[in-house]
Amino acid sequence: MAATAAMALAAALLALFGLSRGSPQGGLPSRDFPPGFMFGAATAAFQIEGAWNLSGKGENIWDRWTHQHPDWVADGSNADVACDSFHRFKEDVQALVDTGFDFYRFSISWSRILPRGTVDYVNEEGLWYYNRLLTELMAHRITPVVTMFHWDLPQPLQDLGGWPNPVIADYFEDYARILFRHFGDRVKYWITINEPASIIESYANSRLGAPGLDDHGVADYQASHTLLKAHAKAYHLYDKYFRKTQKGRVSITLNSAWLEPRTNSQEDRQAAERARQFYFGYWAHPIYSKIGDYPAVMKERIMRNSLAEGRFRSRLPEFSPQWVKFIRGTADFFAYNHYTTRYAASGTEGEIPSLQRDSGVIRSYDPKWPSSASSWLKVVPWGLRKMLNWIKKEYGNLPVLITENGFSDHGGLHDKDRINYFVSYLQELLKAIYIDKCNVFGYTAWSLVDNFEWARGYTEKFGIYQVNFTDPNLARIPKDSAQALRKIIKHRALVPNLLQGEMPEPRVVLVT
């Protein structure tokens, strides 16, 4: 019986740590994370801070969008209070401490620092708030990873046209200078912009979020052009004036699902690669490739479609040789958000014109993939490993920081599905590190706390800490997933028994 039990245990371990269907070959050689590997959690200012019109903060595009169109938010809610982190940031930091995180990725509200979006008026109370947050983090030896822009453009700048207007890149450079001056002595990891791919969607589809435009296939391309210029300006600004004394690192966070061919046909394999260029190379190629500029397949297809529509030039703006050179190489590490995988097949769908139609790709999900509370988020762990390998192959083995990875549900403290998500994706991450030699130095769980989930309001929960939004105290209560991550971080390994409910009773986090 003992031998039989041992064989059963071995089989169970192989099932847990072995191959997933569709994944690259190879089991898990080690459950230990490499020396120096960092664990963190992330949030975004608009989703947690609240205090939307207090202490000098100006209006941003998400304030405007949620107030004018509550019917476009799943539960009709807004982020006027959210987690009230503007007043309760010490509770957030205590949650980080209790879980054992090495770093905290948070964003700064542009409108809280520059209420008008420009440097003609700097809000001292906004500076004071983020200085207090940084002081609290440093007191607990938690490294700040600071995002300058996480979607919440000041409304006065949107009134000028928003990101499609090239002048916004200059205003972003000015904003970056303020942040470097006031916080750069303590911030060693900067993210200029979070997910340009997500930002431009709201210029193409008004119901997806702020600013709420429907100028698909035109304004979204113009916005991306400015976003890349803004990022490069901030990077060179740091390089020229701040790097020598502050000794930090600067990057931009890009996001994409892994795009897997729907079939093994040459047509679908080509479609999948084309999709990777349209939905990721679009921003990665100008920065990380050796030649810079947009991917050739994008330039060719969009030009051809534009001329066929009777236009005299491409809807995709063109970078001059000077801009190509200026943008290329403007990252000190690769910051990447990953959640899920999609199938890609050759075909056309989407608005005319649109990025989707220009790509000539139809994206879909396998109905057998496990679901989350978010319609777009399917649990496909092997996609992370494949994406990391593609990044390595396409752009070289740069140091990679995974800046978001997480799972949504409808709430509750006993979140076994979230634990399973974290463990399965971390398994694939370890395979990428040990088997494929991908240079990944850190992992960020999204999100630290339940928060305002953009157009989904409070209907979807990503936090490892529960926040009861009907409770005036808005207490942070650790879910089972927080306890599981605490074990992983403590042992720097995927320890056993993470899915067996061996979690202590939750403790409310209240800090005065």
Q: Which of 134, 198, 138, 199 is nearest to 164 (CA)?
A: 199
Which residues is 149 bridged to in the sheet?
A: 193
Q: Can you point out the beta strands (E) in 214-354?
A: 249-255, 258-261, 334-337, 341-346
Measured CA to CA, the distance from residue 24 to residue 403 in angstroms comes to 23
Measured CA to CA, the distance from residue 327 to residue 216 in angstroms comes to 25
Measured CA to CA, the distance from residue 404 to residue 41 in angstroms comes to 8
| Mode of pairing for the β-strands spanning 476-478 and 465-467 | antiparallel
Active site residue 351: no
Going across the sheet that includes 341-346, the strands are: 258-261, 341-346, 361-364
Grouping H, G, I as helix, E, B as strand and the rest as coil, residue 185 is coil
In sequence order, the 6+-apart residues with CB closer than 8 A to the CB of 15 are: none
- What is the per-residue DSSP string for 192-223? EEE-HHHHHHHHH-GGGSTT----TTTHHHHH
Helix axes 167-183, 124-139, angle to 10 degrees: 50
Active site residue 195: yes
**Options 173, 404, 453, 460, the catalytic residue:** 404
**Options 49, 195, 428, 460, the catalytic residue:** 195
Q: Is the dihedral of CA 395, 106, 440, 430 positive or negative?
A: negative
Active site residues: 195, 404
